[in-house]
Amino acid sequence: MLKTMMRRAGQCAVVAAACLMMSAQAAEPIKIGSFLSVTGPASFLGDPELKTLEMYVEKINEEGGVLGRQLELIHYDDVGNASSARNFASRLIRSDRVDIIVGGSTTGATMAAVPLIEQAQVPFISLAGAVVITTPVKKWVFKTPQSDRMAAERILADMKDRGITKIGLISGTGGFGSSGRTQTLEVAEQMGMDVVADVTYSGSDTDMTAQLTNIRNTKGVEAVLNFGFGQGPAIVTRNYVQLGMELPFYQSHGVASDSFLELAGSSAEGLRLPASPLLVPDSLPQEDPQKEVVQNYKAEYEARWDSKVSTFGAYAYDGLMLAVRAIEKAGSTDPEAVRGALENIQGYVGVTGEFNMSPDDHNGLDADSFRILEVQNGEWKLID
Amino acid sequence: MLNRFMQSRLRGLVILALILIILPAFLGNPFHYELVIQMAIIAATVVGLNLLVGFAGQISLGHAGFFGLGAYFTGIATGTYGWSSLPALVVGAVVVGTIAWLVGRPILRLKGHYLSMATLAVGFIIAIILNNERAITGGPDGMPVPALDLFGWELSTFGRYSLFGIEISGVQAWYILASVVLLAAVWFALNLIESPIGRALRSVHGSEVAASVVGVDTAKYKSLVFVISAIYASVMGGLYAHFQGFITPAVASFEFSILFITMVVLGGMGSTFGVILGAVVLKLLPQVLADFQELETVMFGLILMLTMIFMPKGLLPTLTAAVSKRMRKKAGGEA
Amino acid sequence: MLAEFLQYLFTGITIGATYALIALGFTLIYNASHVINFAQGEFLMIGGMATVSLTAMGVPMVIAVVLAVILAGVLGIALQRFAIAPAKQADVVTLIIITIGASIFIRGIAQVVWGKEYHVMQNFSTDQPIQVFGAVLNSQSLWVLGIGAVMVVALVLFFTKTLIGKAILATSMNKEAARLVGIRTQMVLMLAFMVSALLGSVAGIVVAPITFTSYDIGIILGLKGFVAAAIGGLGSGVGAVVGGLALGIVEAMAAGYISSDYKDAVAFSMILLVLFFMPRGLFGAKVVERV
């Protein structure tokens, strides 16, 4: 039984490999591997990421590929499960023998694959947010989104500008919210601010009124920050308004997408969050170097997929473009050369921000790449 | 002939050993090895769970809790406190066994779905603790686990080792280890089933009232087998953590518990080799179905449903029954 | 102080009423077949998602609701007819795994058909919350409670006043005897699944404005419903309602007064405690085991 199954699996692989070989014309294609949370609870990350990768690999191939070779995208769906992510990373490295990996929608999925990738010595560009991914620096691991620490810094700085020093914090117990909570607590201490209320909700909760009531009854709270992603923050936002809370309200970059506005509706009015300029491409000043990149990505994505562009897809865009740039610069797909090239990329202007990589910084972004947006009349408005 | 061969337990073990010896010839690359290693570790876990479910008839919906506890105990002991793997696995097993004994006393008095409910609750509580105690467990983003080290000898999947003068790769070394562990797990389970304890357990499954009337201390045996299956889960969880190199609270999740029980039922409750087959099929399915992309979930659900509808006794018992039926027919025709 | 308490209570009762409706669905099917239907949460999802997608296509809300409920009912019948009935000789555990397979299958289809996004459903009436002694109550909560109460009354009448309801009860008590007096037990089982699906889909529709809805909303709500049914005592209608409300209130109180991190753990510990003292739940029937 097992034997026939393994053999059958082997046959499938052989057939698939044969097909691929036929489709590649001259040179062997450059293999770009990816494992993403295309379905499952983090699908709002993985879905636009995969769409972005597919469409730009196509586009690059039409334009002649990279180093005269076609790109081949091999991707798997980890359904948001860290151990599947690790297994698919292993499959990409050991079975598909990819040249570079661009993927890992969530921090959990990314970190589960990191030990393997470090040992296998394959360049890896993660699309997940937590600061632990690139701090401390890992030789083979890079990432495109700003870290949650930068988000916390940006939000708290904005609060401070408004004279707020006492914060009520509500966060999700999932990876994103939990890591965001830790960073917020640390940053608050450094900046001399007080987190006077600190409550959490789990990703599947359907009502956060109890937690918010707790914050409301805490003396001295001057503003509320919600760190989380998925539908949770939208429920928090609605409960916030239902409870009649009027303190300044902040969300994290985890909900920086138009679908959040749809879910939260009029309750979102007046809240602020840090986001990439992708949400407000037209309000960027003409001289902003990102303006053109952002506008193009938005137009191309929306034309191809007939759905709203999201910040998360942009992480994949930057990941792919960084990979292409590094391979071109290295002049080959030699892992060590590509890694070295990645590490020395300077001044790449992406959708998320301007990347300046270095041996000490495998993210390459600074907190200023976040813009502070506010919801006004149901739309994103650039504040800072 | 074949019938008797199939029924003999020791020969089952021999067949399994032969499969494990021949299998490497069909494993094309290190990734295939990795899959089989994981299958072996998970299979050994469900062999333990099967003692509880298949023989004592007690359904646990929280077994991943013990698996996760074992994984985290090993991860924390070796990673944070620098223990060597072997003591970590052993002490972990003792700790998890004790916890299972403590919670098992009250909950094993429950019957049927109430017992399932209680085990589900225990599993959930463990998963919640692992998720929330960020300082110790790394929280929902998980924690790295160092490579397995046995007596100062580190077993990494990327290492190169020499075995009796033959050079083997890290995954091959792990493959040998996982095979030995699986065979030992099966051997122990088979012996337990054949022992007086095993007979007492089966009488509990048949009818608990009848068993207690004839003087079987049902509470004691149920609690014993609960602890044994938890220890299985703990040790395998520890090995899994070492092999994966990284664990998240998902190893203790409800979904994982459901996966374990599904492996038992799909493969064939009460059949030690059946549940191994169940583990193999359910580990292999996501890899095989990966190409269906969007339709992967649909296919998985459909296959699970159809198999259980048409083979309610599980894969292996149904297959062996079909084979022996055909054999008998053939023998009858020739006579 | 009072306002705070009331606030937690309102939150708990609203979500508890949802759990209660789901638990009732479990109870119905359990009574008729002793199966724990792990696909119960998917009926909820079908109710909410079908309503949202139909209204998005321009179908008036009321008609969309009716169509969604009918769709769930048909699905309930199909589940019994094509998945449960063919596996006649199967163990109860096997049947449970079949329902797990069915729930994965249904969820997979829903994901392909309706996509993976969360969707909004408007409140049935005003968006303005209602103020009670300093606590606020979402108007939709009243809908959840009201419709929940109507469903419970309807179920009670169904079981005590109608022939079909009595037939289901009779089958649950003794299948063989029921068959002997001429009850078509397969038909009865099918009905039980259908009614249970109807209940689930209605619950899914009334809570959708509070919780949003998506293809995977059924997993956790279904599980909570099972927990509620077990606390109350499997097979007991009163138990399902009390168990649901108790679970909801404990969750909200724990989140408010103890620790939001551990509120689910508190709820699960409560289950263990209840089962420790009452091994058959709060209202579970004392059954003598037949030897």
pLDDT digits (tens, 9 = 90+) for A131-157: 989 988 999 999 999 999 999 999 999
Rounded to the nearest 5°, which phi and psi values hold at C131?
Answer: -95, 125
CB contact under 8 A, B26 and A6: yes
Burial C179-213, CB ≥16 within 10 A → b, else e: eeeebebeebbbbbbbbbbbbbbbbbbbbbbbbbb
DSSP string covering A205-253:
-S--HHHHHHHHTSTT--EEEEE--TTHHHHHHHHHHHTT--S-EEE-G
Q: Give the pLDDT confidence score for residue B80 in this predicted structure.
A: 93
* CATH fold match for the domains A28-146+294-369 and A149-275: yes
Q: Cβ of A162 under 8 Å from any chain B Cβ? A: no
Strand partners, A100: A32
Helix (H, G, I), strand (E, B) or coil at A73: strand
Q: What mean pLDDT value characterizes chain C?
A: 88
The predicted pLDDT at position A273 comes to: 93
Check C102 against B305: CB less than 8 A apart. Answer: yes
Residues 77-96 of A with CB under 8 A from B: 77, 81-84, 86-88, 90-91, 93-95
- Residues facing residue A224 across a β-bridge: A168, A249
Residue closest to A72 by CA, chosen among A87, A58, A52, A88: A58
Instruction: Pick the residue of C260, C275, C291 with the most B CBs within 10 A to test the interface with B by mutation.
Output: C275
Handedness of CA B49, B54, B55, B58 (dihedral sign): positive
User: CA-to-CA distance for A260 and C139, rounded, in angstroms?
Assistant: 22
Report chain A residues whose CB lies below 8 A from the CB of B155: none
Distance of alpha carbon B291 from alpha carbon C112, whole angstroms: 15
pLDDT at residue A329 in the model: 93
Output helix, strand, coil percentages for chain B, rounded to the nearest 5: 80, 5, 15
- Name the E strands within chain B: 143-144, 148-150, 153-155, 160-163, 166-169, 246-247
Do B113 and C230 make contact, defined as CB atoms within 8 angstroms?
A: yes
> How do strand B148-150 and strand A194-201 relate by DSSP bridges?
unpaired
Is CATH 1.20.1050.10 the right assignment for the domain spanning A149-275?
A: no
In percent, the amount of chain B with pLDDT more than 70 equals 95
- Domain A28-146+294-369 annotated CATH 2.60.40.10: no
pLDDT of residue B330: 74
**Residue showing tokens 């949370």:** A37
Work out the pLDDT band at B332, boundaries 50, 70, 90.
low
pLDDT of the residue at A18 = 47
pTM of the model: 0.90
Residue A199: predicted pLDDT: 93
- Is residue B110's pLDDT more than 70? yes
For residue A136, cis peptide bond before it (omega within 30 degrees of 0): yes
Over residues B240-255, the pLDDT tens digits come to 999 999 999 999 999 9
SS3 at position A195: strand
Domain extents for chain B? 2-334
Q: Which of C111, C120, C138 sits opposite A39 (nearest CB)?
A: C111
Q: Average of pLDDT values for C261-289?
A: 82
Q: Determine the Cα–Cα distance for residues C145 and C206; give it in Å rounded to an integer.
A: 9
Compute the average pLDDT of residues A319-329: 95
Closest CA to A310 of A372, A261, A347: A261
Closest-CA residue of C relative to A198 is C260
pLDDT band for C32, please (50, 70, 90 cuts). confident
Selected residue of A51, A213, A219, A255 to mutate for chain C interface (largest C Cβ count, 10 A):
A213
Query: Which of C93, C100, C105 is nearest residue B298 as measured by Cβ atoms?
Result: C105
Q: CA of B313, closest CA in chain C: separation in Å?
A: 7
For chain C, the chains sharing at least 3 beta-carbon pairs closer than 8 angstroms are: A, B
User: Do B39 and B204 form a contact (C-beta atoms < 8 A)?
Assistant: no
Relative to beta strand A30-36, strand A71-77 is parallel
- Give me the interface pTM, i.e. the ipTM: 0.89
Look at C291 and B254 and tell me if their CB atoms are within 8 Å: no
* Contact between B297 and B305 (Cβ < 8 Å): no
What span, in angstroms and rounded, lies between the C-alpha atoms of A215 and C256?
10
Q: Higher-confidence residue: B4 or C202?
A: C202
Percent of all residues in chain A with a pLDDT value above 70, rounded to a whole number = 93
CATH code of the domain covering residue C24: 1.10.3470
Q: What percent of chain C has pLDDT over 90?
A: 49
Q: How far is Cα of residue A26 from the mean position of the Cα atoms in its chain?
A: 35
Query: What would the pLDDT profile of C230-270 be if each residue is shown by its tens digit?
Result: 999 888 888 999 999 999 999 999 998 988 889 889 889 98
pLDDT value for C196 = 93
Nearest to residue A219, comparing CAs of A197, A239, A201, A237? Answer: A197
Q: What pLDDT is recorded for position A11?
A: 53
The span from the CA of A327 to the CA of A337, in Å, is: 8
User: Which residues does C contribute to its contact with A (CB < 8 Å)?
Assistant: 4, 7-8, 10-12, 14-15, 18, 111, 116-118, 120, 127, 129, 136, 138, 207, 210-212, 214, 216, 219-221, 252-253, 255-256, 260-261, 264
Pick A244's closest partner by Cβ from C136, C253, C260.
Answer: C136
Thinking of the domain B2-334, which architecture would CATH place it in? Orthogonal Bundle (1.10)
pLDDT greater than 80 at residue A26: no
- Weakest mean pLDDT among A88-97, A198-207, C163-172: C163-172
Contact A175 B140 (CB under 8 A): yes
C288 band by pLDDT with thresholds 50, 70 and 90: very low
| Cβ–Cβ gap B297/C111 under 8 Å | yes
Q: Residue C125: pLDDT above 80?
A: yes
pLDDT at residue B262, rounded to an integer: 93
Task: Give the total number of structural domains in chain C.
Answer: 1
Instruction: Answer whether residue C290 shows pLDDT above 50.
Output: no
Number of Cβ pairs closer than 8 Å across A and B? Answer: 112
| B31 vs A7, A95, A182: nearest CB | A95
> What pLDDT is attached to residue B7?
55
A347-374 pLDDT per residue, tens: 999 999 999 999 999 999 988 889 999 9
A120 in contact with chain B, both atoms CB, cutoff 8 A: yes
Residue spans of the domains in chain A: they are: 28-146+294-369, 149-275
Instruction: Report the alpha-carbon distance of residue A255 to residue B24 in Å, rounded.
Output: 48
| Residue B244 Cα, gap to closest chain A Cα (Å) | 8
Q: Which two tokens stand for residue A271?
A: 């809240």
Q: Is the pLDDT of residue A95 over 60?
A: yes
Quote the pLDDT of residue B4. Answer: 55
Confidence grade of residue A313 (pLDDT, cut at 50, 70, 90) = very high
What pLDDT, on the 0 to 100 scale, is given for residue A118?
A: 92
Model confidence pLDDT, tens digit, residues C52-110 = 999 999 999 999 999 999 999 999 999 999 998 888 778 888 898 999 999 999 999 99
Cβ pair A117, A93 in contact under 8 A: yes
**Residue A199: half-sphere exposure toward Cβ, Cα within 13 Å:** 25
- Chain B residues whose CB is inside 8 A of the A47 CB are none
Q: What is the mean pLDDT of residues C168-181?
A: 79
In this complex, is the C-beta atom of A343 within 8 Å of any C-beta atom belonging to chain C?
no
**Enclosing domain of residue C89:** 2-152+184-277
Residues of A numbered 86-115 whose beta carbons fall under 8 angstroms of chain C's beta carbons: which are they? none
For position B333, what pLDDT does the model report? Answer: 55
Does B245 contact A116 at a Cβ distance shorter than 8 Å?
Answer: yes
* Contact present, C208 and C52 (Cβ < 8 Å): yes
Q: What is the pLDDT of residue C184?
A: 81
- Indicate whether C167 belongs to any domain: no
Q: Which two structure tokens, joined as six digits, stand for A228?
A: 């989380």
| pLDDT value at A247 more than 80 | yes
